[in-house]
Amino acid sequence: MPGWLAVTRGDGPLIVSIPHAGTAIPAGIAARLHDPAGALGDTDWHVDRLYRFAAGLGATVIRTRRSRVAIDVNRDPTGVSLYPGQATTGLCPVTDFAGRPLYRAGCEPGAAEIARRRALWFDPYHAALDAEIARLRARHAAVVVYDAHSIRSELPWLFDGRLPCFNIGTNGGASCDPALAAAISGLCGPDQVLNGRFKGGWITRRLGRPGDGVHAVQMELAQRAYLDEATGRIDPARMAGVQPVLRAILTQCLDFAKGQS
């Protein structure tokens, strides 16, 4: 594995994908940004730590240390928007979640550079996902891919008002069995939405093939569930409150997959 890509293999029929917790921006990219440190503001902070228990359940965990500023492995590589008509960021983002430019004028990546970044980082991440799905499908009748994210609770450029705590995405019901989506929803309490503003990114949409035994779900967790959003620091009490729910959700994913035939 390249140093920026981490794969922890388990034998259970569950893959936890963590595509946006990385903070490493290559020096050549950072030098062209307005504010390299500020550009990290849209990171899914500490999601790798939040789900650290997943490997102990037997899940396979795949994560990238590359920042989404370099490339977003959860976007359609053709450049087609996942949310037509709504504000969003692209494969190699040029704005942040407030709509502000990331790059100094004239320093944005062109088509050739985007293709290079895709070959370096995007394609290997998805190849790792595909390889682990194939490995686990050889052992199990079904596999669940759980794409783990977090985001600030209020981002007016992206959505109105305050985001629910648990945002479950199944591509409008196309990426996983409705029974699994309902079971996850039933564990999240009242502060949740299924297929609301976030219906699942490219990972969920590409991999979710329920008819082929691959069920994909995205969880976009509002960061207030485990962070002090003003400082970006983990709040131990909040984390202790939300982790049992997340553990129950991953356990449900495992139980669902093991129950398929």
Q: For the chain, what is the domain count?
A: 1
Average pLDDT, the chain: 97
pLDDT over 90 at 58, yes or no: yes
Q: What is the pLDDT of residue 32?
A: 98
* Strand, coil or helix: 176: coil
pLDDT above 70 as % of the chain: 100
Q: What is the pLDDT of residue 261?
A: 80
pLDDT over 80 at 230, yes or no: yes
Q: What is the pLDDT of residue 130?
A: 98
Using one digit for the tens of pLDDT, what is the confidence trace for 99-140? 999 999 999 999 999 999 999 999 999 999 999 999 999 999
- For the question of whether the overall pTM of this predicted structure is more than 0.75, the answer is yes
Instruction: Report the distance separating Cα 203 and Cα 201, nearest Å.
Output: 6
Q: What is the pLDDT of residue 157?
A: 97
Residues spanned by the domain of 216:
5-259
217 close to 200: Cβ distance less than 8 angstroms: yes
Whether the CA torsion 18, 25, 160, 201 is positive or negative: it is: negative
pLDDT above 90 as % of the chain: 99
pLDDT over 90 at 2, yes or no: no
Residue tagged 């944005």 (tokens):
108
Residues recorded for the chain = 261
* Strand, coil or helix: 241: helix
Query: What is the rounded average pLDDT of the residues 26-49?
Result: 97
Instruction: Identify the CATH number of the domain in which residue 208 sits.
Output: 3.40.630.40
Q: What is the pLDDT of residue 122?
A: 98
pLDDT over 80 at 1, yes or no: no
